[in-house]
Amino acid sequence: MADYRRFRQAGGYYFFTLTLADRGSCLLVDEISRLRQAYRTVAIRWPFETLAICVLPDHLHAVWRLPEGDSDFSTRWAQIKALFSRGLAARERSDSKVRHREKGIWQRRFWEHCIRDADDLQRHIDYVHINPVKHGLVARVMEWPYSSFHRYVQHGELPADWATSGLLLPQDFGE
């Protein structure tokens, strides 16, 4: 069995990618209210700050800041995934997923990256926001409804036409 080691920085900034087991699914947007409720519930019990988030049909990206002295992002994501999955029908599952009492909705693991500095933070926030365009879901970032991009526009931090001028193209953002 693989021994996964995650770099943890108490009070740190992190970029995450979580993916459904079925990469062709639209479950996250079809059940966006369920996902939002799970996310809010966990954020109350285990606080964290969401700097950026974008929910796509089969995966999501988020940038978080954890509280000082706290580096436990794994519990938070496990709880979000569990609360979201509760009440949904199980999907086709491997024997391993059955043994672990998993419904087969999520990929077991997730990707995380500890943000190194202010430039790295900005690159990852931009990546989160440009992702629906990168995946061909919309032509303009503003058209995707499940993104913190709208909060940035509302607070005057980004223009509504951000990344449409040709200065920022989807290929400029790496995972």
For this structure, is 13 an active site residue? no
- In this structure, the number of other CB atoms found within 10 A of the CB of residue 98 comes to 12
Work out the angle between the directed axes of helices 73-85 and 32-45 (0-180°, nearest 10): 140
Structure tokens at 129: 């926001």
Catalytic residue of the set 14, 127, 146, 152: 146
Catalytic residues: 146
